[in-house]
Structure 1
Amino acid sequence: MRALTVTPSRAGTAEVRELPDPRPAEGELLVEGLAVGVCGTDREIVSGVYGWAPPGRDHLVLGHESLGRVRSAPEGGGFAVGDLVVGVVRRPDPEPCGACARGEFDMCRNGRYTERGIKQLDGYGSQLWTVEPGYAVRLDPRLEHVGVLMEPATIVAKAWEQIERIGARAWFAPERVLVTGAGPIGLLAALLGVQRGLEVHVLDRVTGGPKPEVVKALGAEYHTAGVAEVAGRVQPDVVIEATGVSGVVFEATAETASYGIVCLTGVSSAGRRISVDIGAANREIVLENDVVVGSVNANLRHYALAADALAGADLDWLERLITRRVPLERFAEALTARPDDIKVVLTLT
C-alpha cells in the first residue's frame, strides 16, 4: 500500500512510500482509507518542529483527520463491511491518569498519551489502516464526501460542551456568539452555534475568497473589522477563538458581555510579544464573572456529538468547506497553504 510518511524532527523528509499492507490484530477493523484532512499540525510535523515516530522506527505515517470504509470486521464488534468510519486520534496512557482511566483522555494529566499520526502511533494517511472497534466511529453514509471534517468537528463539539458546562455554574441563556477565525475550526464552531439557535458572528481578516459567502450561507454575519470594534458592538455572550493570533486572543477576552465565556481553540506561536494591561484584564474578568478556558483534542463522547452535528448539517454547505482535494501523490501541494483555502483534503483511493 501507499502511505504518506515523515521522519519527525527532520524537515524535508515527507514522502509517499510503499509499505506492507497492515494485518489487523484480533478484534481490529481493516479499513480502506478514503481521505485525510490536512491541518496546521501536519504542516508543523512536516517542517520538523513536532511529531514522534513509533518506538523503534524512524518514520511516522501522517494523517489524523481520517475517513475510511470498513473492508473487514470481526463478528460481534458492532461494525460491518462497507461502514463509513473515522478513527479516533488519541489513546490514553498505558498506566492511565485519573482522567484517562475515566475515558476523558483528551484531558490527560501526565502527557503519556499517544496520538495517531502525531505521537508514537502511525496515522491514517495510507490506503489501508487498522483500528480497534472502540476507537472507530461510524458515520451516516450520506457523509461520504464530507466525513473527513469529522475530526475538526470533534474539537468544536468539545469546545461547546465545555462552554455549556461552565455556563451551567449559574443561569445561562446565551444569545450571541462571536467566532474569531473562519478556518475549518471557526466555521464548524459557527455551525454548532447556529444549530443551537444562537445569533452567530464570524470575524476574519480576509475580504475575498469563499469565506464571506460560506458564513452568509450559514445564516451568520461576517465581519472584517478589529476584534475590539466588533465585539464591542456585538457584546457576545460567548467567544470562540480559532486563530491563535496573540493580539486577537487578548482582545477577544476584553469585550464580552457580563458573565461571558471565552474558549480558546487556536494555538499561538511562542516568541511573539504584545503589550497588555494585565491589571485591567484581571479587573474586568473578576468584576464581570468572566471565564477564559482552553480546549484541545476530543474523547469518544465528542466524536458522537460531532457525528450528530455533521449528520444534521446541510451537506452542500459542508462541501463548501473543502476547497481543494489533492491526490496523495501530490501531497506537497496540499501541504502548501493558499490564500483561499478553508480545508484541504488528500484523497487516498
Structure 2
Amino acid sequence: MRALTVVPTHPGSVAVIDVPDPEPAEGQLLVEGLFMGVCGTDHEIAAGDYGTAPQGADRLVLGHESLGRVRSAPEGSGFAEGDLVVGVVRRPDPVPCGACAAGHFDMCRNGRYTERGIKERHGYGSELWTVEADYAIAVNPGLADVGVLLEPTSVVAKAWEQVRRVGERSWFSPQRALVTGAGPIGLLAALIGTQLGLEVHVLDRVTSGPKPELVQALGATYHDGSAVDVFKTLTPDVVIEATGAGQLVFEAMAYTASYGIVCLTGVSSAGHKLPVDAGGLNRELVLENDVVLGSVNANLEHYRSAAVALAAADRDWLARLITRRVPLADAAEALTTTGSSDDIKTVVRLSESD
C-alpha cells in the first residue's frame, strides 16, 4: 500500500512510498483510509521541526487527523465492516502517570505518551491502517465527506469543557464569547459556542472570502478591525484564542469581562519578544478573578463530544470548511506549500474510490 511518510527532523524528506499492508493485532480494526486532514503540526513535522519515528523505523507515517471505513473488526468490538471511524491520536504513557491512569492521557504529566503520526507511532496517512477498538470513534454515516474534521473538533470540545470546568468554580453564566482566528480550530470553536447558545463573535484579519460568510452562517458576528477595539467593545466573558499571535494573546488577557476566562489553543512561535505591563496584567487578573489556561489534545470523552457536535451541525457548512482536497499522490506537495488566502482546511484523499 501507499503511505505519506517523512524522516523526522529532516526537511524535504516527505514522500509517498510503498509500505507493507498492516496486519491487525488482537483487538484491532483494519481500516481503509478515506481522508487525512492536514494542519500546522503536519507542516512543522514536514519542515523538520520535530516528530519521532517508531522504534526501529527510519520513516514516520504522517497523519493524525483521520477518517476511514472498517474492513474487519474483532467480534464484540462494537464495530462492523463498513462503519466510519476516526482513530484517536494520543496513547497513554506506559508507566502510567496519574492522569493517564485515570483516562486523561491528554493531560499526561510525564511526557511519555505516544501519538499517531507525531511521536513514536505511525499515523493514519495510508491506504490502510489499524487501530485498537478502544481508540476508535464511531462517526455518523452522514459525515462521510466531512468526518475528518472530528479530530480538530475534539480539540475545541476539550477547550470548551475546560472553560466550563474552570467557570463552575463559582456561579457561571457566560453570555458572550469571542474566538480569535477563523482557521479550522477557530471556526469549529465558534460552531460549538453557538451550539451552547452563546452570543459568538469571531475576529480575524481577512475582509472577504469564505471565513466571514461561514461565521455569519452560524449566526455569529465577524470582526476584522482593531483587536483592541473589538475587545473593548465586546468585553467577552470567554475568549477562545486560536491564533497563537503573541500580541493578541496578551490583549485577550487584558480585556475580558470580570470573571473572564481565556483559553489558549494556538501555539506561539518562540523568540518574538513583546513589551508587557506585567504588573498591570497581574493586577487585572487578580482583581477581576480572571483565568488564563492552555488546552491541547483530547481524550476519548472529547472525541465523543466532538462526534455529537459534528452530527448536530449543518453538513453543508462543515463541507465548506474543507477548501482543498488533494489525492495521496500529491500529498507531499500539499505539506510543503501553502494554498491561497481563501484556503481553510486541506485534506488528503487516501482512497482512489472516493
After TM superposition, the score normalised by the length of structure 2 is: 0.98
Where do residues 149-298 of structure 1 align in structure 2 (5 Å cutoff)?
Answer: 149-298=149-298
Deviations 1:276-326 (A, max 9, x none): 101100000000000000000000010010000000000000001000001
Amino acid corresponding to residue 302 of structure 1 in structure 2: H
Q: Name the CA distance, whole Å, in 2 between partners of 1:140 and 1:33.
A: 16
Amino acid corresponding to residue 56 of structure 2 in structure 1: G
**Alignment of 1:105 onto 2:143:** no
Contact 2:179 / 2:190 at 8 angstroms: preserved in 1?
A: yes
* Counterpart among 338, 343, 348 of residue 346 in structure 1: 348
Aligned to 2:16, what secondary structure does the other structure show?
strand
Q: Name the CA distance, whole Å, in 2 between partners of 1:328 and 1:250.
A: 40
Q: Name the CA distance, whole Å, in 2 between partners of 1:120 and 1:143.
A: 30
Aligned to 1:34, what secondary structure does the other structure show?
strand
Deviations 1:242-275 (A, max 9, x none): 0001111111111100000000000000001111
Using the TM superposition, give the Cα deviation of residue 340 of structure 1 relative to its aligned residue in structure 2, in angstroms.
1.3
The residue number in structure 1 matching 2:50 is: 50
**Number of residues of Structure 1 aligned to a counterpart in Structure 2:** 349
The residue number in structure 1 matching 2:32 is: 32
Aligned to 1:43, what secondary structure does the other structure show?
helix
Amino acid corresponding to residue 161 of structure 1 in structure 2: E
Aligned to 1:253, what secondary structure does the other structure show?
helix
Contact 2:22 / 2:129 at 8 angstroms: preserved in 1?
A: yes
Q: Name the CA distance, whole Å, in 1 between partners of 2:295 and 2:231.
A: 21
Using the TM superposition, give the Cα deviation of residue 227 of structure 1 relative to its aligned residue in structure 2, in angstroms.
1.8
Q: Name the CA distance, whole Å, in 2 between partners of 1:62 and 1:242.
A: 23
Deviations 1:2-41 (A, max 9, x none): 0000000100000000011000001210000000000000
Q: Name the CA distance, whole Å, in 1 between partners of 2:55 and 2:333.
A: 30
Amino acid corresponding to residue 342 of structure 1 in structure 2: I
| Structure 2, gaps ≥5 residues long | none
Using the TM superposition, give the Cα deviation of residue 208 of structure 1 relative to its aligned residue in structure 2, in angstroms.
2.0
Aligned to 1:222, what secondary structure does the other structure show?
strand
Contact 1:228 / 1:254 at 8 angstroms: preserved in 2?
A: no
Q: Name the CA distance, whole Å, in 1 between partners of 2:233 and 2:254.
A: 13
Identity %: 71
Using the TM superposition, give the Cα deviation of residue 346 of structure 1 relative to its aligned residue in structure 2, in angstroms.
0.3
Contact 1:326 / 1:333 at 8 angstroms: preserved in 2?
A: no
Aligned to 1:63, what secondary structure does the other structure show?
coil
| Structure 1, gaps ≥5 residues long | none
Aligned to 1:262, what secondary structure does the other structure show?
strand
Contact 2:27 / 2:132 at 8 angstroms: preserved in 1?
A: yes
Aligned to 1:3, what secondary structure does the other structure show?
strand
After TM superposition, the score normalised by the length of structure 1 is: 0.99
Q: Name the CA distance, whole Å, in 2 between partners of 1:86 and 1:95.
A: 26
Moved more, 98-107 or 205-214: 205-214
Moved more, 115-124 or 217-226: 217-226
Contact 1:38 / 1:346 at 8 angstroms: preserved in 2?
A: yes
